[in-house]
Amino acid sequence: MMNYIPTSQIHIPEGMIDLGVGDPDFALLPLDMLHRAAEACFAKADPAFLQYGAEQGDGYFRMALAGFLSRGYGFSVDPGTLFVTNGISNALDLICAHFTRPGDTIFVEEPTYFLALRIFADHDLRIVPVQTDENGLVIEALKEKLAEVHPKFLYTVPTFQNPGGYTLSQDRRDKLAQLSQEHDFMIAADEVYHFLNYSDRQVKSFAAYADLETVISLGSFSKILAPALRLGWLQAHPEAIKRLVTSGLLDSGGGLNPFTSAIVRELLEAGDLEKNIARLIAAYRSRLAAMETALRRELPQAEFVTPEGGFFFWVRLPGVDAEQTQQKALEYQVGFRPGVRFSSHTGMGDFIRLCFTFYDEENIDEGIRRLRKCLEFSL
Ligand SMILES: Cc1ncc(COP(=O)(O)O)c(C=O)c1O
């Protein structure tokens, strides 16, 4: 007998404010926009999108996506350099499958997106962490590691990092791209938060370097439209694209997610993605401000850099064992992700990651109050 019928990956006990959940708010998922796009798609009465898809991804969808990216990046993106994926998780899995062998070494940031570590573990890769600071990956630390070991690729979340919230500086981006050429390793740049920028500062996507054979820029609709679409893209040199397109997986199953691509194409051509992103930025900017205010008021001992985009505050609580406190926090009906989850070698023990996009301002405020009470009794 099934008592509980799951409908999403999120399970939050009744009454709990779980600031550990790193997902979009259900209330902000664009139901009407996708409904309209699906209707427009079906109204064309062309069954082609129900067929096995073109291996690289539907050409019209890639043209519409290239248009969106060109406008957003401020430079021209060629649809021929885009490959449609089931999202970034899938893209990382494909990169591991096609560009690594079990036992190979890869570099990751410390801290890094914890679920990417799970994907790399699936492929039996050896993980070497590289230090970061408030400007992202530390280039000198990378050079030291490169002198010791050759990685197949470096996995980085360069913009509004998960969990750190920080953004790799332009100077470091240039140096990183150059190092990947000199030392012949690939950069898998996970740019899932690139378009969720709440500041006036423009950041150059790694797509700007994607004409290099060593750089792959990964994008996703999960955070700018809806995670359930399981739709994303990668932008890379033709050699890398060829390797993916000629894989057995695509030969047998055709291109990834042609059905959803056709629907999202309508939305892109209508200019709705830009509208949705503007709507999300307005909502998230206000939630970010609410979390910052609450943190400064309730937890003056907390150390953090206010993020300029993305989903997260990465907060250091000196003297606190975050993993132990997580158990205690359940009694106070508040949740967070302990920092150690984002470390590839059990570091970051006094950090917590707090997400400001899943709850509205009122719940964020209440969540941080509960966290203060919990910490008062834990110290
Ligand atoms: C840094 C990072 N990469 C990838 C993902 C997952 O992306 P997708 O839904 O496209 O697989 C997330 C989701 O939280 C993320 O934070």
Quick check: CB of 162 below 6 Å from ligand 1? yes
- Nearest atom in ligand 1 to the alpha carbon of residue 23 is 14
Six token digits for residue 336 = 């967070």
β-strand 136-137 against 126-133: which pairing, if any? Answer: antiparallel
Q: What is the mean pLDDT of the chain?
A: 96
- Nearest atom in ligand 1 to the alpha carbon of residue 311 is 16
Quick check: CB of 260 below 6 Å from ligand 1? no
Q: Do residues 330 and 261 share a domain?
A: no
- Among left, alpha and beta (phi > 0; psi -120 to 50; other), residue 310 is left
pLDDT at 62 > cutoff 90:
yes
Q: Which residue has the tokens 């609709």?
A: 221
When computed from its CA atoms, the radius of gyration of the chain, rounded to whole angstroms, is 21
Percentage of the residues of the chain whose pLDDT score is greater than 90 = 96
Quick check: CB of 230 below 6 Å from ligand 1? no
Q: Do residues 159 and 251 share a domain?
A: yes
* pLDDT bucket at 6, cuts 50 / 70 / 90: confident
Cα–ligand 1 centroid distance for 67 (angstroms): 23
Quick check: CB of 87 below 6 Å from ligand 1? yes
pLDDT tens digits for range 314-350: 999 999 999 999 999 999 999 999 999 999 988 899 9
- Nearest atom in ligand 1 to the alpha carbon of residue 85 is 10
Question: In the prediction, which pLDDT does 129 show?
Answer: 97
User: In this structure, is residue 5 part of a structural domain?
Assistant: no
Instruction: Give the CATH number for residue 349.
Output: 3.90.1150.10
Quick check: CB of 188 below 6 Å from ligand 1? no
pLDDT tens digits for range 92-119: 999 999 999 999 999 999 999 999 999 9
Question: In the prediction, which pLDDT does 281 show?
Answer: 98
Cα–ligand 1 centroid distance for 319 (angstroms): 30
Beta carbons of 294 and 360 less than 8 angstroms apart: no
User: In this structure, is residue 2 part of a structural domain?
Assistant: no
Quick check: CB of 164 below 6 Å from ligand 1? no
**Number of domains observed in the structure of the chain:** 2
* pLDDT bucket at 153, cuts 50 / 70 / 90: very high
Question: In the prediction, which pLDDT does 162 show?
Answer: 97
Question: In the prediction, which pLDDT does 379 show?
Answer: 56
Handedness of CA 339, 162, 245, 272 (dihedral sign): positive
Q: Where are the beta strands (DSSP E) in the chain?
A: 17-18, 82-85, 105-110, 126-133, 136-137, 153-156, 186-190, 215-220, 232-235, 312-316, 334-335, 337-338, 351-355
Cα gap 223→159, rounded to integer Å: 14
Question: In the prediction, which pLDDT does 272 show?
Answer: 98
- Domain final residue, candidates 252, 273, 294: 273
* pLDDT bucket at 1, cuts 50 / 70 / 90: low
Q: Do residues 118 and 218 share a domain?
A: yes
Q: Do residues 147 and 63 share a domain?
A: yes
* pLDDT bucket at 191, cuts 50 / 70 / 90: very high
pLDDT tens digits for range 357-378: 999 999 999 999 999 999 997 6
Q: Do residues 59 and 116 share a domain?
A: yes
User: In this structure, is residue 172 part of a structural domain?
Assistant: yes
pLDDT tens digits for range 203-226: 999 999 999 999 999 999 999 999
Question: In the prediction, which pLDDT does 214 show?
Answer: 98
User: In this structure, is residue 1 part of a structural domain?
Assistant: no
Q: Do residues 212 and 303 share a domain?
A: no
Cα gap 360→290, rounded to integer Å: 9
**Phi and psi at residue 234, to the nearest 5°:** -130, 150
Nearest-CA neighbor of 94 among 127, 145, 55? 55
Quote the domain boundaries for residue 299: 17-30+274-378
Nearest-CA neighbor of 301 among 290, 315, 312? 315
Cα–ligand 1 centroid distance for 39 (angstroms): 28
Question: In the prediction, which pLDDT does 5 show?
Answer: 85
- DSSP per-residue letters across 286-332: HHHHHHHHHHHHH-TT-B----SBSSEEEEE-TT--HHHHHHHHHHT
Residue nearest to atom 7 of ligand 1 (CA): 88
pLDDT at 3 > cutoff 90:
no
Q: What is the pTM of this model?
A: 0.97
pLDDT tens digits for range 44-54: 999 999 999 99
Q: Do residues 120 and 199 share a domain?
A: yes
- Nearest atom in ligand 1 to the alpha carbon of residue 157 is 1
